[in-house]
Amino acid sequence: MRYSSRHLLRPALAAALVAALASPATAGTADPALTGFIRVDQIGFTPAESKQAYLLTPGAAARFSVVDSRGRTVLTGVPGADRGTWNTKYPHVYPIDISALERPGSYRIKAGGLTSPEFRIAPAAQFAGPAAKTLTFFGTQRDGADVRPGELDRRPSHLNDRAATVYEWPTFTGPDTDVIQGDLTRIGGRVDVEGGWFDAGDYLKFTHILAYVDTLMWAARRDAGSLPSGVTSDLTAEARHGLRWLDKMWDEKSRTLYIQVGIGAGNEEGTFAGDHDVWRLPEADDHDTGEGRQYIRNRPVFRAAAPGQKISPNLAGRTAAAFALAAQVEPDRKTARRLLDQAATLYAQAKTTDVGQLVTSLPYAFYPEWAWRDDMELGGAQLALAAKRLGDPRAGAWLAQAAHWAGEYLSHEAGGDTLNLYDVSALAHRDLVLALRASGPHETRGLAVGEQDLIADLKAQLEIGVARATPDPFQAGADYAQFDAVPHTFGLVATARLYRSVSGDPSYDAFGTRQRGWAFGANPWGVSFMVGAGENAERCPHHQVANLKGRADGRHPMLTGAVVNGPNSADLFADGLGGHFDEMNHCPPDGVDRYEEFTGRGARYVDDVRSWQASEPADDFAAIALYALTLTSTP
């Protein structure tokens, strides 16, 4: 997979490289001994992509070479200008441009005795590989009867959810805690909420999260292009698995949307426990008769609002979007029409006046979302596209509603975030552009926004990332000293693709490639934040099943395809990682933080099973990675 440089260099780049090598600053000098690391995307690049790695070092840069699998030098060059200090131990970061490398193969970068992890040059289809890994993760996350044994020998779990009791919203001891005051109050009979996916490393299930995840899965299925048939079938199966659970959570007859299964913590009196209080395998819960385990054995379910009452618009919009996207993909037109009708009923139930605090989870502090007009735009756009496909006359009305909410988003919510769990406007904008282009002049005349408004905001969101990346040594477009750095990064990767698909402008292609690289290892820690993807990937996820059934030494993937939060604010680790649950396997076994020396710029990454701040995987993280990789895998 590696070849001679004469076959790899484009003429202009080759000429520039020859000139650089002949410059007085480098000609005739021996490679100095270096300490430090070479950070590179451990998955790789397509032949024509911009390709950049980084030299992290306390000293001066040295010439680099790229060698193939046989150890042959195929490219040499000089790192670029110092991009600045990462931390006191590593005050220099030099970019290494290997864009001239185009021949398919496997390679490593060498400089002054340092060697990078391996990476590949291959067609875009190579990104179907890590996309498929995320689907393996979702198979592991399945709850209920229809689990996939997989690498962790999963067993059916939480079958008691088939007859769950509905409870009133609990009262919490404070705004930033999940500890409950008193007991729960029963307000409804039995409902079937079996199935779905666990939210993260725990076993709670949220409609807010799963609707977002399933929307991205159906969008990936629709936009998949040339994914291998096996990946496409697995993607369809997982998307359908999620939709079956959403169908249970939305009771169309009574107009009730259920939002959550389970509770995070127990109560302050200590009379019952919550999900986060016990480290165990999920299949044990149905038969757990221990003291205070009543809500672990028989998990409570909560609703968004009373039957028939209006529903928080973020929930209504994104859940309707999942059903409407499925209607766009479903081959059986009768089934597709039923899905469209479900989406329409749910969308019409949205509360869009006197909205107040949005409903996401209990407590709200778990997922404190504030934007909702993007969800309504997304739902309307997907309804319009599904209606167009099915010849439904309501398409024009939904197009107008989507445009209205897009205009409201641009007026009230734009400029604060980029594509992730809390802001879905990038996907909404792109799909509204598609809906506008599929409509006639009589349908688009007088709408609140036009396609250029939407494209301009897609560009503005990318510029948020560019503004962060420009001064950053590793050109990171996400804020890595806050929660959700990795999913924000994959969101920028996806947005660069979405923007180009409707604008035709390739200006942000290189930016998107650098963000993908950051997530897969071209970062200060040199870690791929997807388990099992890359030479040095996340090893000790904060995940109960993986920890209890996987290898405690962390040397083999324990949760293939899981995507973790990644670095987070160093302040979150100021009090240490805390103790281990008695049942918890220590990972890493020696407890040593091998990434501590790379803490910098207010951010820290700890690969430890206790490190929920950095190493906990989540469904929404994997879903945006899946969607970004699906778009990337299509040339």
pLDDT at 32: 56
Q: Is the pLDDT of residue 328 over 50?
A: yes
d(CA 137, CA 151): 10
- Within 10 angstroms of residue 467's Cβ, the number of other Cβ atoms is 11
pLDDT at 225: 76
Contact (CB, 8 A) for 560 and 136:
yes
Q: Is the pLDDT of residue 45 over 80?
A: yes
pLDDT at 88: 98
The confidence band for 57, taking pLDDT boundaries of 50, 70 and 90, is very high
pLDDT > 70: what percent of the chain? Answer: 94
For the segment 537-553, what is each residue's pLDDT rounded down to a tens digit? 999 999 999 999 976 55
Q: Give DSSP secondary structure letters for 420-466.
A: BTTB-HHHHHHHHHHHHHTS-HHHHTT-S--HHHHHHHHHHHHHHHH
Spell out where 248-349 has E strands.
Answer: 250-251, 256-261, 301-303
Q: Is the pLDDT of residue 25 over 70?
A: no
Q: Which of 227, 228, 11 is nearest to 102 (CA)?
A: 11
Q: Is the pLDDT of residue 527 over 80?
A: yes
Mean pLDDT of 598-621: 98
Residue 188: is it exposed, middle or buried by C-beta count within 10 angstroms (0-12/13-18/19+)? middle
Q: Is the pLDDT of residue 446 over 50?
A: yes
pLDDT at 607: 97
pLDDT at 22: 31
Phi first, then psi: what are they for 284, rounded to 5°? Answer: -80, -20
What are 527's two structure tokens? 């870690």
Contact (CB, 8 A) for 623 and 217:
yes
Beta pairing class for 119-121 and 44-45: parallel
pLDDT at 557: 62
Q: Is the pLDDT of residue 26 over 70?
A: no
Amino acid found at 151? E
Q: Is the pLDDT of residue 19 over 70?
A: no
For the segment 180-214, what is each residue's pLDDT rounded down to a tens digit? 999 999 998 899 999 999 999 999 999 999 999 99
What are 208's two structure tokens? 């807010």
pLDDT at 555: 59
pLDDT at 346: 98
Q: Is the pLDDT of residue 11 over 50?
A: no
pLDDT at 635: 77
pLDDT at 33: 73
Q: Which of 77-86, 120-129, 137-146, 226-235 has the lowest mean pLDDT?
A: 226-235
Residue 53's DSSP bridge partners are 96
For the segment 219-260, what is each residue's pLDDT rounded down to a tens digit? 999 998 778 888 999 999 999 999 999 999 999 999 999 999
Mean pLDDT of 157-170: 98
Q: Which of 512, 481, 533, 518 is nearest to 93 (CA)?
A: 518
Q: Which of 75, 164, 66 is nearest to 115 (CA)?
A: 66
What are 625's two structure tokens? 């990675």
Mean pLDDT of 491-504: 98
pLDDT > 90: what percent of the chain? Answer: 91
Residue 354: is it exposed, middle or buried by C-beta count within 10 angstroms (0-12/13-18/19+)? exposed
pLDDT at 23: 32
Mean pLDDT of 126-141: 97
Q: Is the pLDDT of residue 556 over 70?
A: no
For the segment 392-441, what is each residue's pLDDT rounded down to a tens digit? 999 999 999 999 999 999 999 999 999 999 999 999 999 999 999 999 99
Mean pLDDT, the chain, whole residue set: 93
For the segment 80-93, what is each residue's pLDDT rounded down to a tens digit? 999 999 999 999 99
pLDDT at 548: 94
Tell me the H-state helices in 582-618. 612-615
d(CA 387, CA 398): 9
